[in-house]
Chains A and B, each alone.
Chain A
């Protein structure tokens, strides 16, 4: 069933697609981290209405599939005069959803910080912004490394959904090759293996980061 020749002929065509998947996942992860931090800050400092707003946002994204925001942005933005390329639309949808999850991860880690530190920050005259920047955020991010790793893995796998809006990443590539050659097994097994490599690599990266970046 599996022909070695096949890999020799089409192996190279995967490289572009692999690049798209990797770049999209990286950019969206960075964006989601920033957006997640912003939502977390709003929850902490936005008063009761800020917290409620963030809560509603998180609940909305938690309880709906990612494909909905992907379609919403991809089909909806041209109608309001923003004809962005498909990768950007899909990437934005991934940022919006994963940002919601990341803000919840950060909130969980926030509980681990000793309250005394906030009193200390106040007593040395740090304002709310500096307390967040210098005291809260660094600790929260370090505590969150393992969960953030899980989230990035989920995001990485969700980039496959961008094939539904014609982004030529790995899954799209496998689809195209299947239609061209009729060799579904080969096309998808290679792609599955590439995803496994990417996912394992991400997991190793975060495990190493967790081990190196530690307090005390």
Chain B
């Protein structure tokens, strides 16, 4: 493999990583809002949450991507493939993140809620001082898993002509037929990105670890 090819693949890996990071950022915000719906007092909102998660998790990412890819022009929204790609990924990972957050909220031990109530903690501080920090710690390991999944999911966008690592590899293969070398290099690059995110997540877990956490002693 020559240097220009390698540079091209590295650039493409950078694009993949940026796509994933954009989707993770936007998806986290969207998921926080969705989680609020899941615990809403209004039944239609809870129903909407369940429907959203059911549909998004029950259909392949590629179908969602093609639907949005073909439907956006029909809605007269001329978004480039990158914007469409980030949008698709955001819609997709928001559902996964929301389930992670919901699980985190459900994992909070009952005494925490009860003591907060008995102390008369108002909703704002309850969210900031009690629910937030606990959910952050409970949800972090699965959250990191979804982040790794997001990096892998960016490869699906190659099919809707987003130029990232997988599409770049495919283009180079079609020109040079160097199937094994190009795909191995692409695999190594994905591996490094996924493992990197995993490591950062683990480090964050250790840093956030609290003594007596998980409800044994508080």
Contacts and interface: CB of A to CB of B under 8 A. Distances in A.
Mutual binders A and B: yes
B191 A64 contact: yes
Interface stretch (A3-11, A100-108, A123-131, A185-193): A185-193
A79 B179 contact: yes
Contacts, number: 112
Contact of A64 (B59, B152, B173, B180): B152
A161 B66 CA distance: 12
Given A64-B191, A171-B66, A158 B179 contact: no
A167 to B, nearest CB: 12
A161 B62 contact: yes
A72 interface: yes
Contacts of B187: 60, 64, 68
Interface string B157-197: 01100000010011001000101100100110011001100
Interface stretch (A28-36, A110-118, A194-202): A194-202
Contacts of A175: 66
B120 interface: no
Interface string B67-87: 100110010000000000000
A199 B53 CA distance: 13
Contacts of A71: 166, 169-170, 173, 179, 183
What's the dominant secondary structure at chain A's contact region? helix
For the side of the interface on A, what is the size category? 35 or more
B169 A160 contact: no
A31 B43 CA distance: 43
B144 interface: no
Contact of B186 (A68, A164, A195, A199): A68
A65 interface: yes
Contact of A188 (B67, B148, B155): B67
B60 A157 contact: yes
Given A63-B195, A68-B155, A158-B60, A178 B70 contact: yes
A57 interface: no
Contacts of A46: none
Given A71-B169, A184-B67, A171 B191 contact: no
A188 B169 contact: no
B156 A192 contact: no
Contacts of A161: 60, 62, 156, 159
A67 interface: yes
A109 interface: no
Contacts of A60: 187, 191
A83 interface: no
A163 B65 CA distance: 13
Contact of A72 (B64, B152, B180): B180
18 contacts: A59-B191, A63-B191, A63-B198, A64-B190, A65-B154, A65-B166, A65-B190, A67-B158, A68-B187, A71-B170, A76-B180, A171-B60, A171-B62, A184-B74, A188-B67, A188-B70, A196-B58, A199-B59
Give the 9 A-B residue pairs with the shortest CB-CB distance, closest first: A184-B70, A65-B155, A160-B60, A63-B194, A157-B60, A65-B152, A188-B67, A76-B179, A196-B58
